[in-house]
A and B are shown apart, each in its own frame.
Chain A
Amino acid sequence: MTAAREAIALPLTFLTVALLGGLRISDRVALLPPPLFALVLSVLLLALLVRCGALAPDRLMHPSRSMLANLNGLVVVVAVFLATAQAFNAATPDSGVPRVLVNVVFLLLLANTMAASPDRVRALRSLLVVFGSAFVVKFVVLSALSNPPQGVVTRAIQMLFEGVTLGTVTQDVLHPVSGYVAFFTLMLYLFGLVLLGGHSRARPERELRSGNSQR
Chain B
Amino acid sequence: MPDATVRAIGLVIALTYASVIGWLYVRQPQSAAEVAGGLSASIGAYHVDPQAIEDGLGFFRRDEFAAARSAFARADPAQEDARTQFYIAYSYYRQGWGRLYPDEALFAQGLEAVNRAIARAPGGRIVVDDTDLQMRSGDELKAELEAGLRRDASDFNPARLLRSRK
Of the candidate stretches A67-75, A140-148, A191-199, A206-214, the one touching chain B is A67-75
A68 to B14, CA, bound (A): 13
Q: How large is the interface on A (under 10, 10 to 19, 20 to 34, 35 or more residues)?
A: 20 to 34
Chain B residues near A22: list those with CB within 8 A: 25
A22 to B25, CA, bound (A): 9
Is the Cβ of A19 less than 8 Å from the Cβ of B30? no
Known: A3-B3, A8-B6. A19 touches B11 (CB 8 A): no
A19 to B30, CA, bound (A): 15
Known: A31-B24, A33-B25, A68-B4. A15 touches B18 (CB 8 A): yes
Give residues 5-29 of B contacting A (CB, 8 Å): 6-11, 13-15, 17-18, 21, 24-25, 28-29
Residue from the list A6, A19, A28 in contact with B24, Cβ < 8 A: A19
Is the Cβ of A12 less than 8 Å from the Cβ of B14? yes
B15's nearest neighbour on chain A, judged by CB, is A75
Is the Cβ of A71 less than 8 Å from the Cβ of B17? no
B29's nearest neighbour on chain A, judged by CB, is A29
B13 to chain A, nearest CB (A): 6
Residues 105-118 of A, flagged 1 when their CB comes within 8 A of B and 0 if not, give: 00000000000000
Is the Cβ of A19 less than 8 Å from the Cβ of B13? no
Give residues 1-32 of A contacting B (CB, 8 Å): 3-4, 6-8, 11-12, 15, 18-19, 22, 28-31
Residue from the list B3, B11, B24, B25 in contact with A71, Cβ < 8 A: B11
Residue picked from A4, A7, A69, A71, most chain B C-beta under 10 Å = A7
Chain B CB within 8 A of A79 CB = yes
* B interface list, Cβ under 8 A from A: 3-4, 6-11, 13-15, 17-18, 21, 24-25, 28-30
Contact sample, A vs B, 29 pairs, CB 8 Å cutoff: A3-B6, A4-B6, A6-B7, A6-B10, A7-B10, A7-B14, A8-B9, A8-B10, A8-B14, A11-B10, A11-B13, A11-B17, A12-B14, A15-B21, A19-B24, A22-B25, A29-B30, A31-B24, A31-B28, A68-B4, A68-B7, A68-B8, A68-B11, A71-B7, A71-B11, A72-B10, A72-B11, A75-B11, A79-B18
